[in-house]
Amino acid sequence: MNDLISVIVPVFNSDRYVRQTLDSIVGQTYGHLEILVVDDGSTDGSAAICDEFLSDPRVKVFHRQNVGLSLTRQFGIDSCTGSYFVTVDADDYVLPDYVEKLYAALKKNEADIAVCGVKCFWENPESGVSVPGRTFMPSADDLILTDSWNKLYRTEFVRDSGVKFCLGKIYNGTDLQFNHRLFLHSPVYGICSEALLMHRNHPGSRIQRKDKPMQEGFEIIYESLERECSSLGLDRAEWLSKVYYSLMGIAVWDICRLGGGVKKRHAKFRKLARRNKAFVRKHAVAACDTFTVSDVTLPSFVLGSALLLDFACYYCKRKKKR
């Protein structure tokens, strides 16, 4: 018999989308599934929709007090009994062979984690109009180490690593933390070069972030990776530098997209720059390519972050004067 695969679906106030999500999961061509639907204290009609799927014997529904996405996902991982698991957000949906092809890629490569491509689209909930977005294929590290919903994990590998979704209720970046920490345990990756998951962006989705929780979350991610490296006896200063630089790039881009008017964006950039400077001084480490600022030796990525932030502030100032 094929291995049992657990599908974990965290749900919070997704009554507009969750039925399509669950329909796409129960209709998988790979049938030996355990489907764990975890309602994180929804206050709309999501809970009732989830219960409709209990007629399928593979489905288990848990109704819990609201604790946030990261702890809800972790509850699903702790509760699953499958040899492998996937986690699918309640506002996305998957193609019929999503599980089957991820499983095939994992078994073919004797891997610990299989990764597939993702098609993004923007949906206006008022009009119902969908606009196609970018398609991301798993050929770059960012897709391997960012989101979790395009991956099949070997349950034993994840549990043995001790890595958990643990950023808490208010922070973004749980997937980044989870997948980067797993990366430090040297997993074997299997690649499925097809886009099998449809990722929906909409005004209520979690990608619509606020800069403070994002920056705080990124600091927690960096510090958790630093601790993971230390506990594993790994010297990854240069790698940590690159990770932090990429996270700062996301924070800057997020303000560019969602920071409001020029004056508001400028204030956010200045605040982020001050916080970045304090954080870098706290975590200053020697790296292969360093420079000295105020008698503090810092890795070269800091210069890139500082220049990026300075340019963003300068750009906002120029726009403001026009």
Same domain, 68 and 195: yes
Q: Based on the domain organization, do 154 and 229 belong to the same domain?
A: no
pLDDT tier for residue 204 given thresholds of 50, 70 and 90:
low
Q: Assess if residue 279 is contained within a domain.
A: yes
Per-residue pLDDT at 157 exceeds 60: yes
CATH of the domain at 32: 3.90.550.10
Higher pLDDT, 322 or 223: 223
Q: Is residue 133 a part of any domain in this protein?
A: yes
The larger pLDDT score, comparing residue 171 to residue 201, is at 201
* Alpha helix (H) residue ranges in 184-299: 211-232, 237-258, 262-282
Write down the pLDDT at residue 311. 53
Calpha distance 224→180 (Å, rounded)? 10
Using one digit for the tens of pLDDT, what is the confidence trace for 36-85? 999 999 999 999 999 999 999 999 999 999 998 889 999 999 999 999 99
Given 201, 231, 249, the domain boundary residue is 201
| Residue 206 falls inside a structural domain | no
- CA distance linking residue 252 with residue 14, whole number of Å: 29
* pLDDT of residue 258 exceeding 90: no
Tell me: do 68 and 9 sit in the same domain: yes
Residue 15 has pLDDT above 80, yes or no: yes
For residues 69 and 149, membership in a common domain is answered with: yes
Q: Does 29 lie in the same domain as 136?
A: yes
With a cut of 90, say whether residue 279 has pLDDT above it: no
Same domain? 195 vs 285: no
Phi, psi of 292, rounded to the nearest 5 degrees = -115, 130
Q: Do 267 and 295 reside in the same domain of the chain?
A: yes
pLDDT of residue 107: 96
137: confidence class by pLDDT, cuts 50, 70, 90: confident
Whether residues 194 and 292 share a domain: the answer is no
Does residue 101 form part of some domain?
yes
Residue 287, φ and ψ in degrees, nearest 5: -135, 180
Sign for the CA dihedral angle at 38, 22, 111, 119 comes to: negative
Q: What are 178's strand-pairing partners?
A: none
User: In angstroms, rounded to a whole number, what is the distance separating the alpha carbons of residues 122 and 130?
Assistant: 6
Domain boundary among 178, 201, 224: 201
H or E segment and range at residue 64? strand 59-64
Give the pLDDT confidence of 162-198 residue by residue, as tens digits: 999 876 665 556 888 899 999 999 999 999 999 999 9
The last residue of one of the domains, among 175, 201, 227, is: 201
Mean pLDDT, the chain, whole residue set = 82
Residue 79 counted as domain residue = yes
Under 8 Å between Cβ of 84 and 3:
yes
Minimal CA–CA distance to 91: which of 174, 30, 9, 179? Answer: 9
- Report whether 20 contacts 82 (CB < 8 A): no
- pLDDT value of residue 292: 38
Alpha carbon distance 279, 274 (integer Å): 9
3-state secondary structure of 291: strand
Distance of alpha carbon 20 from alpha carbon 2, whole angstroms: 26
List the domain range (segments joined by +) for residue 53.
5-201
* Least confident interval from 40-49, 239-248, 251-260: 251-260
Give Dmax (Cα) for the chain.
Answer: 68
Domain count along the chain = 2
Whether residue 61 sits in one domain with residue 179:
yes
When pLDDT is averaged across residues 87-106 and rounded to a whole number, the result is 97
- In this predicted structure, the answer to whether residue 101 has a pLDDT above a threshold of 70 is yes
Q: Are residues 181 and 290 in the same domain?
A: no
Task: Grade residue 254 by pLDDT with cuts at 50, 70 and 90.
Answer: confident
pLDDT band at 300 (very low <50, low <70, confident <90, very high): very low
pLDDT score recorded for residue 5: 98
Task: Name the amino acid, one letter, at 151.
Answer: K
Q: Which helix (H) or strand (E) holds 200?
A: strand 189-201
Tell me the one-letter amino acid at 307: L
Q: DSSP letter at 201? A: E
